Protein backbone atom coordinates (compact mmCIF):
# COMPACT_ATOMS: atom_id res chain seq x y z
CA UNK A 1 0.00 0.00 0.00
CA UNK A 2 1.34 3.41 -0.97
CA UNK A 3 1.67 6.07 1.74
CA UNK A 4 2.73 9.69 1.26
CA UNK A 5 4.25 12.09 3.78
CA UNK A 6 5.16 15.76 3.61
CA UNK A 7 7.87 17.66 5.46
CA UNK A 8 9.00 21.26 5.87
CA UNK A 9 11.88 22.85 7.74
CA UNK A 10 13.49 26.27 7.96
CA UNK A 11 16.58 27.54 9.78
CA UNK A 12 18.17 30.94 10.17
CA UNK A 13 21.49 31.68 8.45
CA UNK A 14 24.19 32.83 10.88
CA UNK A 15 27.91 33.56 10.81
CA UNK A 16 30.34 31.06 12.26
CA UNK A 17 28.54 27.91 11.08
CA UNK A 18 29.14 25.72 8.07
CA UNK A 19 26.34 25.31 5.55
CA UNK A 20 25.24 21.70 5.06
CA UNK A 21 22.39 20.79 2.71
CA UNK A 22 21.50 17.27 1.63
CA UNK A 23 24.55 16.00 3.50
CA UNK A 24 26.86 18.20 1.39
CA UNK A 25 28.92 21.08 2.72
CA UNK A 26 28.28 24.14 0.57
CA UNK A 27 30.84 26.98 0.47
CA UNK A 28 29.16 30.08 1.94
CA UNK A 29 29.98 32.80 4.45
CA UNK A 30 27.08 31.68 6.70
CA UNK A 31 25.61 28.41 7.88
CA UNK A 32 22.34 27.27 9.34
CA UNK A 33 21.69 27.75 13.04
CA UNK A 34 20.61 24.64 14.91
CA UNK A 35 21.45 21.98 17.46
CA UNK A 36 22.65 19.46 14.87
CA UNK A 37 24.20 20.47 11.53
CA UNK A 38 20.76 22.07 10.82
CA UNK A 39 20.46 20.47 7.37
CA UNK A 40 16.96 21.69 6.44
CA UNK A 41 16.75 19.40 3.42
CA UNK A 42 17.33 16.23 5.42
CA UNK A 43 15.13 17.46 8.29
CA UNK A 44 12.22 18.03 5.89
CA UNK A 45 12.86 14.65 4.27
CA UNK A 46 12.87 12.88 7.64
CA UNK A 47 9.55 14.52 8.53
CA UNK A 48 8.12 13.38 5.19
CA UNK A 49 9.23 9.79 5.87
CA UNK A 50 7.93 9.85 9.45
CA UNK A 51 4.63 11.26 8.17
CA UNK A 52 4.31 8.53 5.55
CA UNK A 53 4.78 5.98 8.35
CA UNK A 54 2.15 7.70 10.50
CA UNK A 55 4.78 8.63 13.07
CA UNK A 56 5.63 11.96 14.71
CA UNK A 57 8.17 14.49 13.58
CA UNK A 58 11.95 14.69 13.71
CA UNK A 59 11.86 16.54 17.03
CA UNK A 60 10.23 13.57 18.75
CA UNK A 61 13.01 11.22 17.66
CA UNK A 62 15.97 13.63 17.79
CA UNK A 63 15.07 16.43 20.23
CA UNK A 64 17.25 19.52 20.25
CA UNK A 65 17.38 19.21 24.04
CA UNK A 66 19.37 15.96 23.79
CA UNK A 67 23.13 16.58 23.93
CA UNK A 68 23.74 13.43 21.82
CA UNK A 69 22.57 15.32 18.74
CA UNK A 70 24.64 18.50 19.27
CA UNK A 71 26.54 19.03 16.03
CA UNK A 72 25.37 15.67 14.65
CA UNK A 73 25.21 15.01 10.93
CA UNK A 74 21.59 14.94 9.85
CA UNK A 75 22.46 11.93 7.70
CA UNK A 76 22.32 9.99 10.99
CA UNK A 77 18.68 11.05 11.34
CA UNK A 78 17.89 10.02 7.77
CA UNK A 79 19.52 6.61 8.20
CA UNK A 80 17.42 6.11 11.34
CA UNK A 81 14.21 7.11 9.52
CA UNK A 82 14.98 4.54 6.81
CA UNK A 83 15.77 1.91 9.47
CA UNK A 84 12.37 2.60 11.07
CA UNK A 85 10.70 2.25 7.67
CA UNK A 86 12.36 -1.13 7.24
CA UNK A 87 11.13 -2.16 10.72
CA UNK A 88 7.62 -1.49 9.37
CA UNK A 89 8.52 -3.73 6.38
CA UNK A 90 8.42 -0.67 4.16
CA UNK A 91 10.59 0.80 1.43
CA UNK A 92 11.03 4.19 -0.17
CA UNK A 93 9.40 4.48 -3.58
CA UNK A 94 10.57 8.01 -4.32
CA UNK A 95 11.10 11.43 -2.74
CA UNK A 96 10.85 14.95 -4.10
CA UNK A 97 12.38 17.97 -2.39
CA UNK A 98 12.60 21.72 -2.93
CA UNK A 99 15.19 24.00 -1.36
CA UNK A 100 14.33 27.69 -1.02
CA UNK A 101 17.36 29.95 -0.69
CA UNK A 102 18.18 33.38 -2.06
CA UNK A 103 21.86 32.48 -1.87
CA UNK A 104 24.16 30.68 -2.33
CA UNK A 105 23.47 29.21 -5.75
CA UNK A 106 22.57 25.57 -5.06
CA UNK A 107 22.16 24.09 -8.56
CA UNK A 108 25.86 23.12 -8.86
CA UNK A 109 25.54 20.94 -5.72
CA UNK A 110 22.32 19.08 -6.48
CA UNK A 111 23.94 16.10 -8.22
CA UNK A 112 26.09 15.33 -5.16
CA UNK A 113 23.10 15.85 -2.83
CA UNK A 114 21.04 13.38 -4.90
CA UNK A 115 23.84 10.82 -4.63
CA UNK A 116 24.15 11.22 -0.83
CA UNK A 117 20.40 11.04 -0.28
CA UNK A 118 19.90 8.08 -2.63
CA UNK A 119 22.54 6.13 -0.70
CA UNK A 120 20.90 6.91 2.64
CA UNK A 121 17.42 6.14 1.29
CA UNK A 122 18.67 2.96 -0.42
CA UNK A 123 17.12 3.92 -3.76
CA UNK A 124 18.37 4.72 -7.26
CA UNK A 125 19.30 8.42 -7.66
CA UNK A 126 16.52 8.66 -10.27
CA UNK A 127 14.02 8.25 -7.44
CA UNK A 128 15.33 11.37 -5.66
CA UNK A 129 14.12 14.72 -6.90
CA UNK A 130 15.83 17.88 -5.65
CA UNK A 131 15.07 21.34 -6.92
CA UNK A 132 16.32 24.74 -5.79
CA UNK A 133 14.54 28.05 -6.08
CA UNK A 134 14.72 31.53 -4.62
CA UNK A 135 11.97 33.45 -2.86
CA UNK A 136 12.25 36.25 -5.47
CA UNK A 137 13.59 38.63 -2.81
CA UNK A 138 10.41 38.39 -0.74
CA UNK A 139 10.22 37.85 3.02
CA UNK A 140 12.91 36.54 5.34
CA UNK A 141 13.98 33.88 2.83
CA UNK A 142 14.23 36.48 0.08
CA UNK A 143 16.32 38.73 2.32
CA UNK A 144 18.78 35.86 2.78
CA UNK A 145 18.03 35.45 6.48
CA UNK A 146 17.41 31.71 6.23
CA UNK A 147 16.94 28.63 4.07
CA UNK A 148 13.86 26.42 3.89
CA UNK A 149 13.10 23.01 2.42
CA UNK A 150 9.97 21.08 1.53
CA UNK A 151 9.87 17.34 0.92
CA UNK A 152 7.38 14.69 -0.12
CA UNK A 153 8.08 10.99 0.41
CA UNK A 154 6.23 8.13 -1.20
CA UNK A 155 6.72 4.80 0.61
CA UNK A 156 5.35 1.30 0.17
CA UNK A 157 4.09 -0.22 3.43
CA UNK A 158 2.26 -3.52 3.89
CA UNK A 159 -0.44 -1.95 6.08
pLDDT in tens, the chain (159 residues): 999 999 999 999 999 999 999 999 999 999 999 999 999 999 999 999 999 999 999 999 988 888 788 888 999 999 999 999 999 999 999 999 999 999 999 999 999 999 999 999 999 999 999 999 999 999 999 999 999 999 999 999 997
Q: Domain boundaries in the chain?
A: 2-156
Architecture of domain 2-156: 2-Layer Sandwich (3.30)
Query: Kind and range of the H or E element at 78?
Result: helix 74-87
Question: What local confidence, expressed as pLDDT, does residue 66 receive?
Answer: 85
Three-class secondary structure of residue 154 per DSSP: strand
Residues 6+ apart with CB under 8 A from 17: 30, 31, 32, 33, 38
Amino acid sequence: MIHVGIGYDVHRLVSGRRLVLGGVEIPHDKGLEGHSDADVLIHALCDALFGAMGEGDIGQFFPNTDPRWKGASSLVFLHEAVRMLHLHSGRVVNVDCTLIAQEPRLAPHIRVMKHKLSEALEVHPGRVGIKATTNEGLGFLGRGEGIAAMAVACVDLPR
